[in-house]
Copies of this chain bind each other. A is one copy, B any other.
Amino acid sequence: MAKTTLEKWFTPARILTGGFATLILIGGVLLSLPFASNSGEGLNFLDALFTATSATCVTGLVVVDTLTQFNLFGQLVILSLIQIGGLGFMTVTTFIIIFTGRRIGLRERLVIQEALNVNSLEGVIRLARNIVLITVAIELFFAAILAFRFSMDMPVDRAIYYGIFHAISSFCNAGFDLFGNFRSLTGYVTDPTVNIVVMILIILGGLGFTVMVDVWKAPRPEKLSLHTKLVLTMTATLLIAGAIGYYLLEMNNPKTLGPLAWNEKLLAAMFASTTARTAGYATIDYGSLTDASLLWTILLMFIGASPGSTGGGIKTVTTIVILLYVISILTGKESTVAFRKRLDPRTVHKSFAVAVISAILLVTVTFALTLTEDKEFIRLLFEATSAFGTVGLSTNLTPELTPFGRIIVMLMMFAGRVGPVTLALALTLRAQQKAMIKYPEEKLFVG
């Protein structure tokens, strides 16, 4: 069957990119309305667009304080953008289509496949339904616990709202908060309930739905897919190593962990390790970290969450594939092996490509920021990496960015959420169909 020019132009990568862009634009318009602001005066469009991008791309970098700037309507717009962006708007579209009874064609399935990073066309619809059900169940359960905890600090109706808002924002790894004054969760640095609930939500959201479903269904640990094994191993390793790093690097810093007791230090270090790889909630002041800790955070942010999750970064699987390949070269092995399985050379290739394209993007954006922002280099690198990994941590410089800086960071959040490879494919004019056909054959999802 011959395709029309229009059909050829609408590649999965382009539909995905275009969908995100449309959502952001609608959000930006809504958030700039006087009707969305506490002050009754409309927010300037650039800042409204920045906020919409940050919410849709589940980043959490903010140029205005969410609580002070936006009224309930504005906050609900942000929450909706987070939920749609976090689930992937394609999942939502699929869901609507299923319930309105429309048949799903091959084209739609390809788009969903791209969005969810699922290799086989089969079961995509079932997966989409499962995703929404799992999400709602997890969010409601933990929202209840958070609401209970918050009810000790505020009226019950507000506690329920805060429970729901922060549970969604945590599970989607969005990092938006309603505690005012850009404070994030610093007020709860030593609170076990809030820390543990938020950490569980962040970790679950960062695993990716395929992993959650796989763990749920596998009869024995050995039956888990290679992908799941790699994701679980890397996630555990990064969480523990990250926490040890923060503990050692910040234990004597009077502005961060210094004043805390050893067990509070441990909690804060664990939270910092958990939040860095994509969530973006902060219980300590990142503007006061040592340079070593900033670099530590930059590395964790660059690695990011797992493929198909709500998080960003080059992804855990990409990282472990690269490390395994490097180890195989240095030990003179013929092939790259993980859990007694040989990795497809194309998986290795794609992993390297994702890492290198991401690094080039990160360096370019940081370079652009050094041209207009008169700030310390490491803070600009931190901000750029935070945007790329859709993390949302900041050394408090986001509100101080110049208009040019805001636009650059905004574009970076978008690239980070859509994925640099998908974005590049969307922008490239020719032959992207071929690449699309080539990659789905691969055995692992790497970025």
Chain A residues within CB distance 8 Å of chain B:
290-292, 294-296, 299, 322, 325-326, 329-334, 345, 348-349, 352-353, 355-357, 359-360, 363, 366-367, 370-371, 376-378, 380-381, 421, 424-425, 428, 430-436, 438
Most buried by B among A299, A326, A345, A425: A326
Q: How far is the CA of A367 from the CA of B433 in the complex (A)?
A: 42
The answer to whether B432 touches A332, judged by C-beta atoms less than 8 angstroms apart, is: yes
The answer to whether B291 touches A330, judged by C-beta atoms less than 8 angstroms apart, is: no
Given contacts A296-B367, A353-B325, A367-B296, contact A424 B330 (CB under 8 A): yes
Chain B residues, CB < 8 A from A424: 330
From B296, B329, B376, B430, A353 is in contact (CB under 8 Å) with: B329
The answer to whether B332 touches A290, judged by C-beta atoms less than 8 angstroms apart, is: no
The 9 A-B residue pairs with the shortest CB-CB distance, nearest first, are A332-B431, A332-B435, A377-B378, A352-B352, A332-B434, A292-B370, A291-B370, A330-B424, A291-B377
Most buried by B among A322, A326, A332, A353: A332
The answer to whether A428 touches B326, judged by C-beta atoms less than 8 angstroms apart, is: no
Chain B residues, CB < 8 A from A299: 363
The answer to whether A370 touches B295, judged by C-beta atoms less than 8 angstroms apart, is: yes
The answer to whether B357 touches A326, judged by C-beta atoms less than 8 angstroms apart, is: yes
Q: How far is the CA of A325 from the CA of B421 in the complex (A)?
A: 13
From B325, B363, B431, A333 is in contact (CB under 8 Å) with: B431
Q: Tell me, rounded to whole Å, the shortest Cβ–Cβ distance linking A440 to chain B.
A: 13
Q: How far is the CA of A434 from the CA of B334 in the complex (A)?
A: 8
Q: 5 A–B contact pairs at CB < 8 A? A: A291-B380, A295-B366, A296-B367, A325-B353, A376-B378
Q: How far is the CA of A435 from the CA of B356 in the complex (A)?
A: 24
Across the interface, name the chain B residue whose C-beta is closest to A295: B367
Chain B residues, CB < 8 A from A425: 330, 332
Q: Tell me, rounded to whole Å, the shortest Cβ–Cβ distance linking A314 to chain B.
A: 11
Q: How far is the CA of A224 from the CA of B150 in the complex (A)?
A: 73
Q: Tell me, rounded to whole Å, the shortest Cβ–Cβ distance linking A126 to chain B.
A: 30
Chain B residues, CB < 8 A from A352: 349, 352-353, 356
Chain B residues, CB < 8 A from A345: 345, 349
Q: How far is the CA of A381 from the CA of B436 in the complex (A)?
A: 38
Q: How far is the CA of A352 from the CA of B367 in the complex (A)?
A: 23
Q: Tell me, rounded to whole Å, the shortest Cβ–Cβ distance linking A105 to chain B.
A: 23
From B292, B322, B367, A292 is in contact (CB under 8 Å) with: B367
Given contacts A353-B325, A370-B291, A371-B292, contact A332 B363 (CB under 8 A): no
Most buried by B among A352, A360, A371, A435: A352
Q: How far is the CA of A359 from the CA of B355 in the complex (A)?
A: 11
Q: How far is the CA of A357 from the CA of B355 in the complex (A)?
A: 12
Q: Tell me, rounded to whole Å, the shortest Cβ–Cβ distance linking A72 to chain B.
A: 42
The answer to whether A326 touches B356, judged by C-beta atoms less than 8 angstroms apart, is: yes
Chain B residues, CB < 8 A from A367: 292, 295-296
Q: Tell me, rounded to whole Å, the shortest Cβ–Cβ distance linking A426 to chain B.
A: 10
Q: How far is the CA of A424 from the CA of B325 in the complex (A)?
A: 14
Q: How far is the CA of A348 from the CA of B355 in the complex (A)?
A: 14
Chain B residues, CB < 8 A from A332: 425, 428, 430-436, 438
Q: Tell me, rounded to whole Å, the shortest Cβ–Cβ distance linking A111 to chain B.
A: 18
Q: Tell me, rounded to whole Å, the shortest Cβ–Cβ distance linking A193 to chain B.
A: 34
Q: How far is the CA of A332 from the CA of B432 in the complex (A)?
A: 5
Q: Tell me, rounded to whole Å, the shortest Cβ–Cβ distance linking A73 to chain B.
A: 41
Q: How far is the CA of A352 from the CA of B351 in the complex (A)?
A: 10
Inter-chain pairs besides A329-B421, A330-B435, A377-B378, 10 sampled, C-beta below 8 Å: A291-B380, A295-B366, A325-B353, A326-B360, A330-B428, A332-B430, A345-B345, A352-B353, A352-B356, A377-B377
Most buried by B among A322, A329, A334, A355: A329
